[in-house]
């Protein structure tokens, strides 16, 4: 029986540092306490290129070193945008009691009983080295650009999937031999399994995903340790697939070590794998990931509804985001201070208002018209207004003195005609009102 801790998607960077380091430090403590035999980090140790002097680089190295002082460590190359090629090379130099092996090419790596790593020269061993007790088949992130350069961009995505399936099947023979010799057989990769569920609860079912579960089981490894998807999930195969010797097979994503975004579902943690000759199992060891609450209002935030949500969700110590969408003219009616007050006790509050701009009808070509009367007609047409009263007002403005206009308006409002009611506005009354507006 070998016991392996699998950590994934640590995403160390300045912004995530508190969350990543609290969770990974806890996980490393726990793995050491559990006396694991080996540790695997299945990609995305960092979130983006880190400066060597950044605190995130130092904190990550410190925890990897703590692991390496306890057991052999295998780090796999993750997504290039998160972990630029070369990032992991530094970790080979950490110099703990046990070595850190960096898998940045397709290869097989054996773990010896003395806790040393032996890598295959080619993509797989032609014959297994002596003294191994576990065999790892490593498929780091595939560079789709290289595949695209060979087969063309439009075919690249599908070609990647087909080549990976072929490659994985290619590992089957050595895994069968290893299994017969009593070695634990393990696959390690970083990518998307067709049909898996993202951390936001979205099924990933496009045809450019790297793997199918069938292709992964086809490698005939007992355990397949995956990184990339931040939500923990698992697939099991109880039958002896393809007539192979693997017996019970398991594919699993531990998910990210911490909760890095709002709206991420599910528990966070690392996997404690236990692999014996005839069984493979794991448990999710939870990390103290932060609690996030995401509150969304389709319109203006309703303080009463928010108050109820706050009571129901227990915001104390949680990271809370409130989002709303309001029209431009209502933007000042959102009471941010009152929202902030309701969320007192939260570890962090993020208020995000989306303003929908007022859309006005534009009267095309209006600026080209020569006379003001023509402009009024064009405007009336595009806004569905009656032009005649407006043109009368314009005429009055052009031909009468301001005093005369004012007098006429005052005299009308002073002595309203008894026949005119608000519901039966006469034309002259409409003219009067229009004049006032003008």
Should residue 83 be labelled a site residue for Mn ion when binding is judged by CB under 5 A?
A: no
Q: How far is CA 82 from the centre of its chain?
A: 13
- Minimum Å distance from CB 213 to Mn ion? 20
Q: Supply the minimum distance, in Å, between the C-beta of residue 317 and Mn ion.
A: 26
Residue 202 Cβ, how far from Mn ion at the closest point, in Å? 15
- 44 versus 107: smaller Cβ distance to Mn ion: 44
Contact 76, 190 (CB under 8 A): yes
Strands 233-237, 249-253: parallel, antiparallel or unpaired by DSSP?
Answer: antiparallel
Distance CA 427, CA 153 (A): 70
Nearer to Mn ion, 65 or 190 (CB): 190
CB of 295 to Mn ion, least distance (A): 26
Q: Which stretch binds Mn ion (CB under 5 A): 38-46, 146-154, 169-177, 182-190?
A: 38-46
Closer to Mn ion by CB, 141 or 431: give it. Answer: 141
| Chain position carrying tokens 């129901």 | 312
Closest distance to Mn ion from the beta carbon of 223 (Å): 20
Residue 44 binds Mn ion (CB under 5 A): yes
Contact flag: residue 199 with Mn ion (CB under 5 A): no
Helical H runs in 181-212? none
- Report, in Å, the least distance between residue 129 CB and Mn ion: 32
d(C-alpha 3, C-alpha 38), whole Å: 7
Q: Please say which residue, 44 or 435, places its beta carbon nearer to Mn ion.
A: 44
For Mn ion, the binding residue among 4, 5, 9, 246 (CB under 5 A) is 9
Q: How many residues bind Mn ion (CB under 5 A)?
A: 2
Q: What is the DSSP letter of 193?
A: B
Closer residue to Mn ion (CB): 21 or 44: 44
Distance of CA 404 to the CA centre of its chain: 69
Could you tell me which stretch among 42-50, 86-94, 168-176, 379-387 binds Mn ion (CB under 5 A)? Answer: 42-50
Task: Tell me which stretch binds Mn ion (CB under 5 A): 7-15, 92-100, 115-123, 380-388.
Answer: 7-15
Q: Judge residue 294's burial from the number of C-beta atoms within 10 Å of its C-beta, 0-12 exposed, 13-18 middle, 19 or more buried.
A: middle
Composition of the chain by helix, strand, coil, percent to 5: 35, 25, 40
Question: DSSP of 368-404, one letter per residue?
Answer: G-SSHHHHHHHHHHHHT--HHHHHHHHHHHHHS-HHH
CB of 226 or CB of 378, closer to Mn ion:
226
Residues that bind Mn ion (CB under 5 A): 9, 44
């Amino acid at each position: 029986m070998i016991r392996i801790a699998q950590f994934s998607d640590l995403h160390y960077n300045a912004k995530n540092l508190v969350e990543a380091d609290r969770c990974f430090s806890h996980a490393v403590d726990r793995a050491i306490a559990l006396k694991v035999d080996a540790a695997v980090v299945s990609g995305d140790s960092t979130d983006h290129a880190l400066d060597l002097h950044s605190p995130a680089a130092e904190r990550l190295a410190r925890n990897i070193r703590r692991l390496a002082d306890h057991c052999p460590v295998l780090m796999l190359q993750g997504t290039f945008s998160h972990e630029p090629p070369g990032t992991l090379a530094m970790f080979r130099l950490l110099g703990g009691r046990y070595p850190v092996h960096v898998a940045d090419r397709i290869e097989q790596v054996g773990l010896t009983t003395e806790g040393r790593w032996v890598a295959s020269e080619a993509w797989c061993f032609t014959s297994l080295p002596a003294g191994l007790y576990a065999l790892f088949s490593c498929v780091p992130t595939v560079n789709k650009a290289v595949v695209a350069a060979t087969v063309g961009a439009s075919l690249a995505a599908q070609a990647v999937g087909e080549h990976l399936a072929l490659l994985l099947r290619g590992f089957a023979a050595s895994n069968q031999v290893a299994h017969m010799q009593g070695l634990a057989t393990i696959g390690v990769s970083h990518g998307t399994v067709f049909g898996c569920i993202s951390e936001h609860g979205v099924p990933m079912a496009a045809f450019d995903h790297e793997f199918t579960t069938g292709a992964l089981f086809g490698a005939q490894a007992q355990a397949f340790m995956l990184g990339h998807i931040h939500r923990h999930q698992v697939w099991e195969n109880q039958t002896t697939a393809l007539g192979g010797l693997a017996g019970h097979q398991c594919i699993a994503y531990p998910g990210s070590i911490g909760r890095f975004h709002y709206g991420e579902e599910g528990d966070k943690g690392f996997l404690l794998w236990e692999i014996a000759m005839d069984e493979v199992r794991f448990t999710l060891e939870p990390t103290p990931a932060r609690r996030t609450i995401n509150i969304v209002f389709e319109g203006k935030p309703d303080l009463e509804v928010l108050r109820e949500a706050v009571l129901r969700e227990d915001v104390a110590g949680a990271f809370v985001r409130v989002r709303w969408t309001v029209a431009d003219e209502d933007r000042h009616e959102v009471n941010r201070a009152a929202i902030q007050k309701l969320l007192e006790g939260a570890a962090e509050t993020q208020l995000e208002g989306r303003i929908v701009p007022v859309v006005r009808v534009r009267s095309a070509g209006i600026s080209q018209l020569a006379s003001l009367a023509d402009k009024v007609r064009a405007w009336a047409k595009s806004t569905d207004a009656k032009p005649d009263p407006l043109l009368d007002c314009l005429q009055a403005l052009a031909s009468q003195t301001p005093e005369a206009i004012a007098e006429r308006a005052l005299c009308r409002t002073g002595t309203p005609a008894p026949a005119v009611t608000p519901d039966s506005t006469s034309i002259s009354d409409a003219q009067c009102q229009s004049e006032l507006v003008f």
